Chain A
Amino acid sequence: MKQQRATKADATRRDFLTGTAGLAGAVALAFVATIRSSRATPAMMQAAIKQLVGEAPIRKGKVMIDVPPLVENGNAVPVTITVDSPMTAADHVKSIHLFNQKNPQPNVIGVHLGPRAGKAALSTRIKLADAQTIVAVAQLSDGSFWSDEADVIVTIAACVEDLQ
């Protein structure tokens, strides 16, 4: 009789423990989900690119991203984007946009230029929150879009670190 009671108490204790563990797991999952959602996903990058180009097709080529494949510090990653174009009044690059997959926001930089540029190229330094793929899209004066992508491995992430 006594033994039976003890088993019953054990069972409730076990139920309680599994119950709380499950709850804790659910809370942890929800927490991870909220952290994840504060970062841009490849889907968000695709949406940002779609917002730029609309329904127009994007072709590979002409654009070239020059970025180190492995960077130590994601707080300042040197990037050079070059577009192969004669830059004449009839055939020039109108804009160049850079996107990323895993920073909190998918946009990095958008530049507007014209035949006065002489050469369609720019260099800057960007922040990368994680190892990811960056995509450059260029719009030409004839309305066509060209792109290139590059993979970057980042060892120290930027953007989301805390000061504590």
Chain B
Amino acid sequence: MTVRTLINVPAKARRGEVIEIKTLIAHPMETGFRVGLNGALIARDIITTFRCTYNGEEIFRADFSPAIAANPFLTFFTVATATGTIRFEWTGDDGFSVTESAPITVE
């Protein structure tokens, strides 16, 4: 099953420019505190960690909790330093792991 992600990174940037990165990933973020139709607790199923690397160097990391809304949306900033790839990595419960990348041209 492919997980839908939506990533917004400017394709081009000037060197040293602060760019905004927006990410969205389809995920239920089940809290583990809700009771299902059979009266039993629904097991927790969340994304626990998000990492963003720029040409292999970590620029941003986030630890999620069940209090993050379904389909986690996150925006943050980075300095455009060099042409290359920005890689995104989400990991979570039940071996959930999704990796995406976006190219960026810096002039």
Contacts and interface: CB of A to CB of B under 8 A. Distances in A.
B18 A119 contact: yes
Contacts, number: 110
Contacts of B91: none
A107 interface: yes
B65 A109 contact: yes
B31 interface: yes
B69 A75 contact: yes
Given A113-B76, A122-B75, A123-B75, A159 B65 contact: no
Interface stretch (B2-10, B55-63, B94-102): B55-63
Contacts of B31: 104, 127, 159
Interface residues on B, range: 20 to 34
A116 B67 CA distance: 27
B9 to A, nearest CB: 14
B78 to A, nearest CB: 6
A164 B36 CA distance: 7
A132 to B, nearest CB: 11
Contacts of A120: 77
A114 interface: yes
Interface in A93-132: 100, 103-105, 107-114, 116-128
| A interface residue count range (under 10 / 10 to 19 / 20 to 34 / 35 or more) | 35 or more
A38 interface: yes
B88 interface: no
7 contacts: A107-B67, A108-B67, A109-B68, A110-B63, A125-B73, A127-B66, A159-B33
Interface of A: 38, 75-77, 100, 103-105, 107-114, 116-128, 158-164
Given A103-B67, A112-B62, A116-B59, 13 more contacts: A104-B66, A109-B62, A111-B61, A111-B63, A113-B61, A116-B81, A119-B18, A121-B76, A124-B73, A127-B67, A159-B34, A160-B33, A162-B35
Interface of B: 18-19, 29, 31, 33-37, 42, 54, 57, 59-70, 72-79, 81
